[in-house]
Amino acid sequence: RKEFQSDTVLVTGATAGFGRAIAHKFHAAGAKVIAVGRRADRLDALKQELGARLMPLALDVADTAAIAREMEQLPADFRDITLLVNNAGFGTDRGAAQDAALADWDDMVNVNIRGLLHMTHHALPGMLARGRGQIINIGSVAGRAVGPTNAVYSATKSFVLQFTKALKTDLIGTPVRASYIAPGAAETEFSLVRWQGDEARAAKAYAGYQPLTAEDIAEAVFFAAAMPAHVDVTELELMPHQQGFGPRIFARD
Ligand code: NDP
């Protein structure tokens, strides 16, 4: 299907990158969209751009009490969420695991795992009661691949992969679907966040090849959502053409 007029789509991390592109994509297909992120000014700008069918929801998904409160208080015309896209996340391993700051590990776990779990927990009962719904979780190629200086980020995305597949399995007796989408390198604010606003360093992540765009990922999310109700897109991996699998790593003498 191409029309989403009867849908309400909640996207976390809608102030930048994939989430903003996903919000635009579903809004253009006729859905009501709840855009979640911490930066209220960007949510307001999105509201200005998209108008009545866009509900800005300033929320830190690491704040589980705030998630519970906000999900409980959704206005009547945005309450019936048909699609939850758990997209908010980041990777802030900035070196080897043995050199990491414990706070960075906590931050990744709190957003990439706990935030996703709490959003899912609060969205599911309504979907089950209404007999309609889908949860699309954004993982990463790092959820399967082991690479250097990425320990906790890749572990959080492995969690998302396994959780999504287990959730899909538990939901087979219900009309609610769950999908996992694993992007490779995409040019967003992801590297800027990783390198704490250092633009030159962030740009190096995308030098010399054509990375994926946020719109590429929005297409993949849309594909998973647009499949007929009897089809689960269980796992979808996307990479830039110029990205390959697996690093060759040796600590040579
Ligand atoms: P961006 O940094 O461009 O966007 C991340 C979004 O997440 C922002 O909207 C940010 O909003 C939001 N976010 C971060 N922390 C929180 C929080 N505590 N509460 C609510 N929202 C939050 O990155 P991408 O678009 O690239 O990343 C989106 C997802 O895709 C992430 O899960 C990332 O791990 C994953 N991914 C990215 C890849 C890439 O190469 N770019 C590759 C594979 C996966 P705000 O700061 O306003 O809260």
Show me where the domains of the chain are located.
Answer: 8-238
Helices (H), the chain: 17-28, 40-50, 64-72, 102-108, 116-130, 151-170, 190-194, 199-204, 214-226
pLDDT bracket for residue 185 (50, 70, 90): very high
How many angstroms separate the alpha carbon of residue 111 from the centre of ligand 1?
Answer: 10
Q: 213: number of CA atoms within 13 Å, CB side?
A: 4
48-59: burial string, b at 16+ Cβ within 10 Å, e else: eebeebbbbbbb
Rounded CA-CA distance 34/66 in Å is 15
Q: Considering only residues 249 and 135, tell me which one the structure prediction assigns the higher pLDDT.
A: 135
Q: In which band, very low, low, confident or very high, does the pLDDT at 2 lie, cut at 50, 70 and 90?
A: confident
Indicate which residue's Cα is closest to atom 39 of ligand 1.
186
Residue 248 has pLDDT above 90, yes or no: no
Q: Residue 92 pLDDT > 90, yes or no? A: yes
Q: Mean per-residue pLDDT for 50-74?
A: 98
Mean pLDDT, residues 217-240: 98
User: Cα-flanking dihedrals φ and ψ of residue 168, to 5°?
Assistant: -55, -40
Q: Nearest C-alpha to atom 6 of ligand 1 is from which residue?
A: 13
Residues 6 or more apart from 217 whose CB is under 8 A from it?
18, 21, 22, 138, 181, 183, 186, 238
pLDDT recorded at residue 1: 79
> Ligand 1 atom 36: the closest Cα is on which residue?
140
Cα separation, 222 vs 233, in Å, equals: 11
Given a cut of 90, whether residue 225 has pLDDT beyond it is: yes
More confident residue, 235 or 248: 235
**What's the pLDDT score for residue 178?**
98
Quick one: pLDDT at residue 249?
A: 86
- Rounded to the nearest angstrom, the distance between the alpha carbon of 89 and the centre of ligand 1 is 4
Give the residue, by CA position, lying nearest to ligand 1 atom 44.
140
* pTM (2 d.p.): 0.98
Pocket test for ligand 1, best of 10, 11, 15 (most atoms within 8 A of CB): 15
Q: Please compute the mean of the pLDDT values over residues 49-56 and round it to a whole number.
A: 97
Residues flanking ligand 1, CB < 6 Å = 12-19, 36-39, 60-62, 87-91, 111, 138, 140, 183, 185-186, 188-190, 193
User: Which residue numbers are catalytic?
Assistant: 153
Looking at 3.40.50.2300, 3.40.50.720, 3.30.1950.10, 3.40.630.10, the CATH number of the domain 8-238 comes to 3.40.50.720
Predicted ipTM beyond 0.85 = yes
Tell me the CA distances in angstroms from 52 to 4, 36, 82, one per residue in order: 15, 16, 18
Choose which residue among 117, 190, 204 to substitute to test ligand 1 binding: the one with the highest number of ligand atoms within 8 A of its C-beta. 190
Q: Write down the pLDDT at residue 246.
A: 85
DSSP state of 107: H
Q: Work out which ligand 1 atom sits closest to the CA atom of 139.
A: 44
Band (pLDDT 50/70/90 cuts) for residue 86 is very high
pLDDT of 219 over the 90 cut: yes
- High-pLDDT (> 70) share of the chain, %: 100
Specify the pLDDT at position 189: 98
Asked if residues 114 and 205 have their Cβ atoms less than 8 Å apart, the reply is: no
The vertex-174 CA angle with 73 and 223, nearest 5°, equals 80
